[in-house]
């Protein structure tokens, strides 16, 4: 087969050609004029403008409004009816004898939620990446039913977080599926997984990993498949042990994907709310109440809601997210430089 | 048809679909049971008699009433009428119907007892009426008590006696726990008042946690720790989240369940003869044997563009024959004095359900003055929130009792400061 015949040829039918050509001609005139006036930079700005407008309206403006909210007090909902109180809400949050001991803080709920979130982020992200990586490495091999297994691991990603929470609640509650299985197999007594503090905390981590790992596995799988096969063939010919191949070839070449996974997983973990809210409601006590639930409680659920405090808490959470993102960007840049050298 | 005509027609169509027309009355309504269906049936008769008034019922989840309606009201975009339970705190948004009603005096006579619950302090406005009066109270699984050979405690039995009897039933019948109270500050308010708790201070502001409140909370925590009370219900959520224990009672997992009269239709439908159950009224404490009154109100909204039409709809729904039919078909306790005086023939074949409803009617006789005052007290809701979140933390082992008492007081001080 010649190169020419293997290439698919796309042609416009007569009607399409008759319509598209004049339209393209019309668009072409202002674009050329714009390029003459603004040059290449002006053209770039012109094309990025719609995106920036959407970003401004739906991200930047709400962020600024939220910041202004955090400087107001009272119980009114609308900004123009609220009193300006300066940094009062932030002072309330930071009014603490010992930040590691929430009971000594005026807003003990905030610090409890912040500590819970920090612990959740560290454990969930570390475990999530480890599990996703192991799964991706296994699914990258020539195993029987590989496509089926990929679908199985990706399936929970398609579920609504509320559905995830409900499914696992039915499994873990006192008279749930897990206790029934344990009773059938071992005659075990009913254990209240969602009332025990440690078990409930572990459950939120486990369920969150189960629900999201498919997405990260997919990213890592794409990275693994992009690694040239000849590197592995060369290592095999040299008789390099598998563990050394993994640490010296796979991991360095997978690092850009791992960084993406790390950034996304961190941001998502800090924002954890929906499936946990359905699963544990933040309990037992406040042991699985994370920062977004605290903000929700303050701003929307409690009697005499406190929008100012909720806004201040969300600004602090946003600040943490920005710092995390900047750190990850710096790490990515360093990694790129290393790769270039 | 030219393009201008098409555009004008499209514009008009858009306007008519999004703008309330003169004569439109929009009702935001949530249901606990069948009352949405009953309401629509009653309104269909109203519409036949009043063809000029177009009543639209928006049936929504209770969470919409709780979380979205206050925002809509603050923005002036609310419905014309709404069915609400946060009656006092939002009273500034209710319309004074007095100038629009054909017979305000009859309205005051029939619904005057709860008028203060739904108007700002010091006002004499007529803003709405209670669709039902509720009273918290207990339900016992009579079959389980009989199987265990345990006598149902009598009318004057104390909380301790009920817990002891239920525990015997739980032990005999291998139940996971003896009794359960919904996770709600409102639900434990009655028992706390029975122990002597005073919510309202002499100045009308929140009273610091007193000995009566401390005594009840201490007992309640103890019952959770020794496994008499369903720990799942109060510990399995943080903050102010509401958790009922209804399913545990329906599934015969508990011998005694403390909730309220609004559960009657729900329990009747779901238990469906699987076991015999009875209403028990409220167990006694050292000071009283009281439940907490409450209920849902239908209120007119101040920002309505059609106050005359709204008043007509409200007057129809509040009228004695309509209120009577509504109560009989929904199995709710009515607020209308004429309806109560005339007696009710509840729309059920079950004598047991009729007995249950009569028990609740009888229990209203023992409601303590403090409990009667709470529905009209603006700090009741915030106090309930503080109670439920802090007591849960004690049961979960996060706070000591003394810390919890101090936190409830500081939470209330914060709320008062925030509202000023």
What separation in angstroms does the CA of B139 have from each of A293, B166, B172, B181? 33, 11, 19, 10
Q: Which residues of B touch A304 (CB under 8 A)?
A: 89, 381-382, 385, 415, 418-419
- Domain of B309? 6-133+295-342
Structure-token pair, residue A41: 């930079």
3-class DSSP string for chain A: CCHHHHCCCCCCCHHHHHHHHHHHHHHHHHHHHHHHHHHHHHHHHHHHHHHHHHHHHHHHHHHHHHHHHCCEECCCCCHHHCEECCCHHHHHHCCECCCCCHHHECCHHHHHHHHHHHHHHHHHHHHHHHHHHHHHHHHCCCCCCHHHHHHHHHHHHHCCHHHHHHHHHHHHCCCCHHHHHHHHHHCCCCCCCCCCHHHHHHHHHHHHHHHHHHHHHHHHHHHHHHCCHHHHHHHHHHCCCHHHHHHHHHHHHHHHHHHHHHHHHHHHHHCCCHHHHHHCCCCCCCCCCCHHHHHHHHHHHCCCCCHHHHHHHHHHHHHHHHHHHHHHHHHHHHHHHHHHC
Query: A74, B407: Cβ pair inside 8 Å?
Result: no
CA–CA distance, A292 with A299 (Å, rounded to integer): 10
Which DSSP state fits B204? Answer: S
Tell whether B282 and B248 lie within a shared domain: yes
Q: Which CATH number does the domain housing residue A308 bear?
A: 1.10.3720.10
- The answer on pLDDT for A59 being more than 50 is yes
pLDDT tens, residue by residue, A246-284: 999 999 999 989 988 998 999 999 999 999 999 999 989
CA–CA distance, A171 with A178 (Å, rounded to integer): 5
Residues paired with residue B179 on neighbouring β-strands, in sequence order: B229, B256
Domain end, chosen from B285, B311, B342, is at B342
Nearest residue on chain A to B177, judged by CA atoms? Answer: A174
pLDDT tens, residue by residue, A235-244: 989 999 989 9
CA–CA distance, A229 with A239 (Å, rounded to integer): 15
pLDDT at B348: 84
Tell whether B319 and B383 lie within a shared domain: no
CA–CA distance, B71 with B144 (Å, rounded to integer): 46
Tell whether A185 and A248 lie within a shared domain: yes
**At A53, is the pLDDT very low, low, confident or very high (cuts 50, 70, 90)?**
very high
Which residues of A have a CB under 8 Å from any CB of B? 73-78, 81, 103, 106, 108-109, 173-175, 190, 192, 194-195, 197, 280-289, 293, 297, 300-304, 306
- Give the DSSP H or E segment for B308: helix B307-318
Mean pLDDT (whole number) for B313-332: 94
pLDDT at B14: 43
Tell whether B155 and B289 lie within a shared domain: yes
CB contact B409 to A (< 8 Å): no
Answer whether residue B101 is part of any domain: yes
Answer whether residue A45 is part of any domain: yes
Domain end, chosen from B276, B311, B342, is at B342
Query: A174, B176: Cβ pair inside 8 Å?
Result: yes
- The answer on pLDDT for B393 being more than 70 is yes
Interaxial angle between packed helices A108-139 and A197-226, expressed in degrees from 0 to 180 and rounded to the nearest 10: 40
pLDDT tens, residue by residue, A190-224: 888 999 999 999 999 999 999 999 999 999 999 99
- The answer on pLDDT for B10 being more than 60 is no
Name residues 111-150 of chain B within 8 A of A (Cβ): none
CA–CA distance, B328 with B335 (Å, rounded to integer): 12
Domain end, chosen from B284, B310, B342, is at B342
**At A9, is the pLDDT very low, low, confident or very high (cuts 50, 70, 90)?**
low
Q: Which CATH number does the domain housing residue B263 bear?
A: 3.40.190.10
Query: How far A268 CA sits from the closest chain B CA (Å)?
Result: 21
Tell whether B47 and B112 lie within a shared domain: yes
How long a stretch of residues is chain A?
341
- The answer on pLDDT for A341 being more than 80 is no
Name the nearest CA neighbour of B140 among B335, B356, B389, B331: B356
pLDDT at B19: 46
Tell whether A167 and A267 lie within a shared domain: yes
- The answer on pLDDT for A6 being more than 70 is no
Mean pLDDT (whole number) for B287-315: 95
Whether B345 contacts B328, CB under 8 Å: yes
Answer whether residue B348 is part of any domain: no
Answer whether residue B347 is part of any domain: no
- The answer on pLDDT for B7 being more than 60 is no
Whether B374 contacts B136, CB under 8 Å: no
CA–CA distance, B152 with B146 (Å, rounded to integer): 9
Tell whether B392 and B303 lie within a shared domain: no
Answer whether residue A71 is part of any domain: no
Tell whether A151 and A276 lie within a shared domain: yes
- The answer on pLDDT for B297 being more than 50 is yes
Mean pLDDT (whole number) for B181-195: 96
Question: How many separate domains does chain B show?
Answer: 2
Answer whether residue A189 is part of any domain: yes
What separation in angstroms does the CA of B362 have from each of A339, B190, B259, B268? 82, 16, 16, 20
Which member of A109, A285, A303 has the closest CB to residue B396? A285
| Percent of chain B at pLDDT exceeding 70 | 95
Tell whether A134 and A51 lie within a shared domain: no
Tell whether B269 and B193 lie within a shared domain: yes
Mean pLDDT (whole number) for B403-415: 95
CB contact B403 to A (< 8 Å): yes
**At A142, is the pLDDT very low, low, confident or very high (cuts 50, 70, 90)?**
confident
Residues paired with residue A325 on neighbouring β-strands, in sequence order: none
Query: A304, B89: Cβ pair inside 8 Å?
Result: yes
Which member of B74, B75, B393 has the closest CB to residue A286? B393
Which member of A173, A303, A306 has the closest CB to residue B384? A303
Chains A–B, number of C-beta pairs less than 8 Å apart: 102
pLDDT at A31: 83
Whether A208 contacts A275, CB under 8 Å: yes
pLDDT at B347: 85
Tell whether B309 and B401 lie within a shared domain: no
**Least confident residue range of A31-35, A131-135, A212-216:** A31-35
Answer whether residue B172 is part of any domain: yes
Answer whether residue A298 is part of any domain: yes
Mean pLDDT (whole number) for A20-38: 83
Name the nearest CA neighbour of A252 among A132, A328, A338, A327: A338
Which is more confidently placed, B371 or A19?
B371
Which DSSP state fits B293? Answer: E
- Domain of A57? 3-65
**At B350, is the pLDDT very low, low, confident or very high (cuts 50, 70, 90)?**
confident
pLDDT tens, residue by residue, B257-272: 999 998 898 898 899 8
Mutate to test the interface with B, among A195, A276, A290, A296 (most CBs of B within 10 A): A195
Tell whether A205 and A276 lie within a shared domain: yes
Strands B81-84, B24-29: pairing kind: parallel
Query: How far B414 CA sits from the closest chain A CA (Å)?
Result: 10
Mean pLDDT (whole number) for A17-40: 82
Question: How many separate domains does chain A show?
Answer: 2
Whether B204 contacts A164, CB under 8 Å: no
pLDDT tens, residue by residue, B157-186: 999 999 999 999 999 999 999 999 999 999
Answer whether residue A206 is part of any domain: yes
Query: How far B13 CA sits from the closest chain A CA (Å)?
Result: 29
Domain end, chosen from A65, A86, A114, is at A65
Whether B163 contacts B223, CB under 8 Å: yes
Mean pLDDT (whole number) for A112-130: 96
Secondary structure tally for chain B: helices H, strands E: 19, 8
Structure-token pair, residue B117: 């619950």
Tell whether A37 and A117 lie within a shared domain: no
Tell whether B120 and B226 lie within a shared domain: no
Which is more confidently placed, B20 or B88?
B88
Residue the block writes with tokens 């490495």: A137
- The answer on pLDDT for A105 being more than 90 is yes
**At A42, is the pLDDT very low, low, confident or very high (cuts 50, 70, 90)?**
confident
pLDDT at B108: 95
- The answer on pLDDT for A339 being more than 70 is no
User: Average per-residue pLDDT in chain B?
Assistant: 91
Tell whether B27 and B96 lie within a shared domain: yes
pLDDT at B2: 52
User: Average per-residue pLDDT in chain A?
Assistant: 89
Tell whether A49 and A121 lie within a shared domain: no
- The answer on pLDDT for A5 being more than 60 is no
Mean pLDDT (whole number) for B350-364: 85
Query: A297, B75: Cβ pair inside 8 Å?
Result: no
pLDDT at A164: 96
Which is more confidently placed, B44 or B4?
B44
Query: A280, B239: Cβ pair inside 8 Å?
Result: no
Mean pLDDT (whole number) for B380-391: 94
Q: Which residues of A touch B415 (CB under 8 A)?
A: 303-304
Tell whether A195 and A334 lie within a shared domain: yes
Answer whether residue A227 is part of any domain: yes
Query: A303, B236: Cβ pair inside 8 Å?
Result: no
Answer whether residue A114 is part of any domain: yes
Query: B398, A293: Cβ pair inside 8 Å?
Result: no
Residues paired with residue B258 on neighbouring β-strands, in sequence order: B138, B181
């Amino acid at each position: 087969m010649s190169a020419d015949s293997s290439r698919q040829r796309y042609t416009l039918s007569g009607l399409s050609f008759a319509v598209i050509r004049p339209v393209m001609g019309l668009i072409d005139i202002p674009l050329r004029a714009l390029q003459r006036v603004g040059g290449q930079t002006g053209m770039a700005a012109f094309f990025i403008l719609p995106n920036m407008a959407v970003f401004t309206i739906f991200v930047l403006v709400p962020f600024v409004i939220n910041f202004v909210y955090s400087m107001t007090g009272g119980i009114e909902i609308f900004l123009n009816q609220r009193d300006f109180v300066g940094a009062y809400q932030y002072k309330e949050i930071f009014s603490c004898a010992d930040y590691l001991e929430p009971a000594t803080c005026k807003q003990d709920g905030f610090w409890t939620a912040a500590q819970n979130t920090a612990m959740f982020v560290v454990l969930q992200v570390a475990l999530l990446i480890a599990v996703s990586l192991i799964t991706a490495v296994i699914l990258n091999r020539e195993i029987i039913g590989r496509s089926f297994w990929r679908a199985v691991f990706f399936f929970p990603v398609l579920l609504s977080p509320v559905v995830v929470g409900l499914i696992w609640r039915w499994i873990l509650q006192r008279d749930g599926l897990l206790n029934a299985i344990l009773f059938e197999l071992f005659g075990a007594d009913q254990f209240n997984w969602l009332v025990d503090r440690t078990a409930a905390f572990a459950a939120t981590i486990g369920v969150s990993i189960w629900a999201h790992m498919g997405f990260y596995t997919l990213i890592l799988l794409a990275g693994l498949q992009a690694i040239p096969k000849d590197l592995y063939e060369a290592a095999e010919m040299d008789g390099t042990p598998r563990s050394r191949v993994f640490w010296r070839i796979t991991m360095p070449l997978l690092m850009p994907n791992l960084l993406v996974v790390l950034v996304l997983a961190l941001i998502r973990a800090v924002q954890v709310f929906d499936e946990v809210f359905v699963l544990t409601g933040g309990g037992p006590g406040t042991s699985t109440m994370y920062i977004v639930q605290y903000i929700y409680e303050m701003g929307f659920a409690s009697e005499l809601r406190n929008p100012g405090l909720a806004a201040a808490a969300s600004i602090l959470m946003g600040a943490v997210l920005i710092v995390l993102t900047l750190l990850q960007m710096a790490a990515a840049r360093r990694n790129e430089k290393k790769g270039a050298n | 048809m030219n393009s201008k005509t098409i555009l004008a027609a499209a514009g008009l169509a858009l306007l008519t679909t999004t703008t309330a027309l003169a004569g439109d009355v929009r009702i935001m309504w949530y249901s606990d049971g069948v009352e949405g269906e009953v309401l629509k049936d009653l309104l269909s008769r109203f519409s036949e008699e009043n063809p000029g008034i177009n009543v639209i019922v928006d049936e929504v989840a209770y969470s919409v009433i709780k979380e979205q309606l206050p925002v809509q009201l603050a923005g002036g975009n609310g419905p014309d009428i709404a069915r609400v339970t946060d009656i006092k705190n939002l009273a500034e948004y209710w319309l004074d119907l007095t100038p629009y009603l054909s017979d305000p005096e009859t309205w005051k006579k029939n619904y005057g007892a709860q008028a203060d619950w739904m108007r700002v302090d010091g006002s004499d406005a007529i803003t709405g009426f209670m669709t039902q009066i509720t009273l918290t109270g207990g339900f016992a699984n009579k079959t389980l008590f009989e199987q265990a050979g345990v006598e149902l405690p009598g009318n004057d039995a104390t909380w301790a006696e009920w817990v002891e009897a239920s525990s015997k039933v739980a032990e005999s019948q291998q139940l996971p726990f003896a009794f359960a109270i919904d996770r709600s500050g409102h639900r434990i308010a009655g028992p706390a008042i029975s122990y002597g708790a005073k919510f309202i201070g002499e100045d009308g502001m929140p009273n610091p946690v007193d000995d009566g409140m401390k005594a009840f909370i201490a007992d309640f925590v103890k019952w959770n720790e020794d496994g008499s009370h369903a720990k799942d219900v109060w510990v399995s959520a943080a903050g102010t989240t509401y958790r009922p224990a209804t399913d545990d009672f329906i599934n015969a997992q508990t011998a005694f369940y403390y909730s309220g009269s609004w559960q009657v239709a729900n329990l009747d439908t779901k238990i469906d003869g699987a076991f015999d159950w009875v209403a028990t009224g409220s167990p006694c404490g050292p000071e009283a044997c009281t439940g907490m009154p409450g209920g849902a109100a239908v209120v007119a909204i101040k920002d309505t563009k059609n106050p005359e039409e709204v008043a007509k709809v409200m007057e129809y729904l509040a009228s004695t024959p309509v209120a009577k039919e509504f109560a009989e078909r929904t199995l709710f306790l009515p607020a209308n004095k004429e309806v109560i005086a005339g007696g009710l023939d509840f729309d059920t074949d079950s004598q047991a359900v009729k007995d249950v409803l009569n028990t609740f009617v009888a229990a209203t006789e023992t409601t303590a003055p403090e409990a009667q005052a709470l529905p009209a007290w603006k700090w009741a809701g915030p106090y309930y929130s503080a109670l439920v979140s802090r007591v849960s933390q004690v049961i979960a082992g996060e706070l000591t009792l003394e810390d919890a008492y101090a936190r409830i007081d500081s939470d209330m001080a914060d709320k008062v400061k925030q509202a000023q």
